[in-house]
Amino acid sequence: MNSYDQAVMAAKAISSKKGLDIQVIEIGDISVLADYMVIATGTSSTHVKALADEVEYKLDEAGISVSHIEGYRSNSWILLDYVDVIVNVFSDEAREFYDLDRLWQDGKPVDLTGIVD
């Protein structure tokens, strides 16, 4: 499974648990960090954790293990590092504060029409 498929699978997992404002940004041409950045918002700290858990579960089911997790005890931001795909799940306030959408605006947004709700 390539990195695009992993990013889309993560976006679908987030969507299945009613994650909000899901963005997938192709960053491979502008950064060595990863190929794709997935950014989404949860409605509460419990929802943020549930979204991250669902991503981890779905990708693990597909044989893709998370390399590193940051912020798992945080109430506002959880980062899942899959080497070629980085998944960020935020509370609304944390997403606004860190503004990764703006920081990665030079990346190429992936059209998720028909992929996520």
Looking at this protein, which amino acid is placed at residue 101?
D
Place of tokens 């991503």: 55
Q: Would you give per-residue pLDDT tens digits along the chain (117 residues)? A: 999 999 999 999 999 999 999 999 999 999 999 999 999 999 999 999 999 999 999 999 999 999 999 997 777 999 999 999 999 999 999 999 999 999 999 999 999 999 897
* Domains of the chain, CATH where assigned: 3-109 (3.30.460.10)
pLDDT of residue 75: 79
Cβ neighbors of 55 (< 8 A, separation 6 or more) are 10, 13, 14, 80, 87, 89
pLDDT of residue 117: 79
